């Protein structure tokens, strides 16, 4: 089914559907077999999800005040509908009764997960507690949208027209991206901002852009404080804590852990502390090397600039030497070929209308026919929230094949030139397609566990991080590269330098991710101000002081408007799995091997229908360890 990208009367539509849905819930709660309970709800949620996912998607990628006003009106309706489901004691009992019926292994797992979901969503609450719990969830849905909206507006508010002379250090391709009739316009969109931080010789300009970026949506922002997110963040954290306590947990971190693979809050903290201990000695050496090279007292706006110069000196190339070899069409062609070789599918761009002229529609088939579709939206735009993500439009259900959205904010074409991607952007593309493949390649016929549905949050990043490893393989890079002028593939010399530089400052990067993860889990287990928690974490992880203007948490969408609250550690947890999985597949023959097909079968096709770690062990033949992660990051000094 093709998504309807012209939603009209969305409030009336959602009102009507949710009212219809409550009738379906009532009928399902009287059911006594799988089809009348789970099947009926899956069928309805399939229909409702098509509308809610498109509305959410358009609000993220084509933001307008007019649409957002209507969109916000639908959020309480949707939240209240799902609250009614999760608090329906009769439906909860119907699910529990299904345990006593004849179910297959997947159905048994789905029922166990559903029962736990009911219990974590307050089904056991009564009276005032139940009403308050519903009110909290409704308020959180609105606050999440407000946070995202403020972040987008604050990001778009700051622009600066500069002369060509002020951008000394840029090459002509980079200048072409920002040229306007008035001069050269820089802004806080990630592709433009990162160019400033990496290439501009003008240190004062880097400082100005950096402070504007890290102070977005805050009371000290160089941009307007109208979009200050701090009160929104504080309310979100307070409501999450209250919600957890209503359910009998000490804090939100404890509540979050209940639905994940990890066993406890302490296991997460121990895991992250171990990574910090193993990474910090090497990270300190990496920073000392950078300081010696720069020969100045480094400030945060100097790090990307001098790191790029040091990298160029150490490895004999710079980022801009690579980008001409990675025009968009060749990158996509190479990405599609890699996926085809990995999983025996075909990917074809088809001529189909979409919500924006830049969006490509991808048809995925195998020898049996249609597998699914992906809507690919890669360029940065002012009406599009930052970052990169995959969102599902519909799961596999009957004759309806899976459909996913893949969204990035990458470089776009300019002045007759194709979009030329930096290698980091290519890694991002591979990452998001890993998520999309998890959704599209499912073989699970139950929507509540198809694709990424039902996958524990600390496992959902495995397929995406696993995909990243393949874009460093020689044969894959040859498929991805074709100089936009000469048609030449990336020379072997440059490929060798790229691989040699892959883990440049990897320990610093590891430390930074551990900082985010420790802050996240600790801020959700504390009543302290979130910036006080960050300051405390940084005494353990930070090797450089922060600046007074830094309020980067105020735009940390993963935590305050995404699904990663008390779960940001999942990136590192899943990276352990991904490194271990890739290392194993390589040892068994790599792309197209039986091991790569085993990954598809046990991980991608199974989705959330079976215990995730058990599926991993079936694929791998054993539990993962830290060794492959440390090896892949070339962190040699293990701190022990």
- List the catalytic residues: 432
Place of tokens 């098509």: 50
| Residue 179: φ, ψ to 5° | -70, 135
Dist CA 541 CA 519 (whole Å) = 10
User: Max alpha carbon distance in the chain (Å)?
Assistant: 75
Q: How many CB atoms lie within 10 A of CB 177?
A: 20
Q: Long-range contacts made by residues 46-49, C-beta under 8 angstroms, separation at least 24?
A: 46/394, 46/395, 46/397, 46/400, 46/447, 47/17, 48/17, 48/18, 48/21, 48/81, 49/392, 49/393, 49/394, 49/395
| Of residues 197, 162, 635, 596, the one with CA closest to residue 424 | 197
Go through the chain and tell me how many residues it has.
640
Dist CA 574 CA 579 (whole Å) = 9
**Beta bridge partners of residue 400, listed in sequence order:** 397
**408 sits in which H/E element:** strand 403-410
* Burial of residue 120 (number of CB atoms within 10 Å: 0-12, 13-18, 19+): middle
Dist CA 581 CA 585 (whole Å) = 6
Dihedral Cα 454, 455, 461, 467, nearest 10 deg: -100
Structure token pair of residue 61: 């990628």
Structure token pair of residue 336: 């599609």
Contacts of 292 (CB under 8 A, 6+ apart): none
Q: How many CB atoms lie within 10 A of CB 422?
A: 19
SS3 350: strand
Pairing of strands 369-379, 346-350: unpaired
Dist CA 359 CA 404 (whole Å) = 13
The answer to whether 14 and 50 are in contact (CB under 8 A) is no
Count how many Cα atoms sit within 13 Å of the Cα of residue 593 in the half-sphere of its side chain.
Answer: 14
């Amino acid at each position: 089914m093709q998504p309807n990208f012209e939603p009209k009367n969305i409030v009336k539509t959602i009102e009507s559907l949710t009212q219809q849905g409550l009738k379906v819930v009532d009928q399902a709660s009287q059911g006594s077999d799988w089809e009348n309970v789970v099947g009926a709800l899956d069928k309805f949620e399939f229909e409702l999800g098509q509308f809610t996912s498109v509305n959410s998607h358009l609000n993220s990628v084509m933001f307008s005040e007019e649409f957002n006003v209507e969109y916000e009106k639908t959020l309480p309706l949707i939240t209240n509908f799902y609250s009614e489901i999760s608090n329906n004691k009769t439906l909860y009992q119907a699910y529990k009764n299904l345990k006593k019926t004849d179910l297959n292994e997947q159905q048994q797992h789905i029922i166990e997960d559903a029962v736990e979901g009911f219990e974590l969503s307050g089904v056991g609450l009564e009276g005032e507690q139940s009403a308050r719990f519903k009110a909290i969830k409704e308020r959180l849905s609105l606050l999440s949208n407000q946070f995202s909206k403020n972040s987008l507006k604050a990001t778009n508010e700051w622009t600066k027209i500069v002369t060509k002379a002020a951008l000394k250090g840029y090459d002509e391709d980079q200048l072409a991206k920002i040229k306007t009739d008035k001069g050269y316009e820089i802004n806080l969109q990630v592709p433009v901002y990162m160019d400033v931080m990496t290439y501009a010789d003008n240190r004062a300009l880097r400082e100005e852009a950096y402070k504007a970026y890290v102070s977005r949506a805050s009371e000290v922002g160089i941009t307007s404080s109208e979009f200050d997110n701090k009160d929104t963040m504080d309310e979100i954290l307070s409501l999450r804590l209250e919600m957890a306590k209503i359910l009998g947990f000490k804090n939100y971190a404890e509540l979050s852990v209940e639905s994940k693979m990890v066993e406890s809050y302490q296991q997460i903290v121990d895991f992250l502390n171990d990574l910090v201990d193993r990474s910090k000695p090497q990270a300190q050496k990496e920073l000392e090397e950078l300081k010696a090279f720069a020969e100045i007292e480094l400030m945060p706006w100097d790090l990307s600039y001098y790191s790029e110069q040091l990298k160029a000196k150490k490895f004999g190339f710079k980022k801009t030497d690579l980008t001409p070899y990675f025009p968009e069409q060749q990158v996509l062609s190479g990405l599609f070929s890699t996926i085809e070789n990995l999983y025996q599918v075909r990917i074809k761009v088809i001529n189909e209308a979409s919500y924006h002229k830049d969006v490509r529609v991808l048809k995925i088939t195998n020898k049996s026919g249609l597998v699914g579709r992906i809507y690919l939206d890669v360029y940065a735009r002012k009406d599009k929230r930052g970052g990169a993500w995959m969102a599902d439009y519909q799961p596999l259900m009957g004759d309806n094949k899976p459909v996913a959205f893949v969204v990035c904010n990458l470089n776009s074409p300019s002045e007759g030139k194709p979009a030329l991607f930096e290698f980091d952007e290519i890694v991002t593309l591979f990452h998001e397609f890993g998520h999309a493949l998890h959704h599209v390649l499912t073989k699970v016929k139950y929507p509540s566990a198809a694709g990424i549905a039902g996958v524990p949050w600390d496992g959902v990043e495995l397929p995406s991080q696993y995909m990243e490893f393949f874009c460093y393989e020689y044969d894959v890079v040859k498929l991805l590269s074709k100089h936009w002028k000469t048609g030449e593939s990336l020379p072997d010399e440059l490929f060798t330098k790229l691989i040699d530089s892959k883990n440049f400052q990897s320990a610093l990067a590891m430390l930074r991710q551990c900082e985010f993860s420790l802050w996240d889990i600790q801020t959700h287990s504390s009543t302290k101000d979130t910036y006080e928690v960050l300051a405390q974490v940084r005494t353990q992880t930070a090797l450089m002081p922060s600046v007074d203007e830094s309020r980067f948490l105020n735009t940390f969408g993963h935590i305050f408007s995404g699904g990663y609250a008390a779960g940001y550690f999942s990136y590192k947890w899943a990276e352990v799995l991904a490194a271990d999985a890739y290392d194993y597949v390589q040892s068994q023959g790599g792309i197209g091997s039986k091991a790569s097909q085993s990954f598809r079968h046990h991980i991608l096709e199974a989705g959330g229908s079976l215990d995730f770690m058990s599926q991993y062990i079936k694929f791998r033949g054993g539990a993962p360890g830290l060794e492959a992660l440390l090896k892949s990051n070339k962190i040699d000094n293990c701190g022990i």
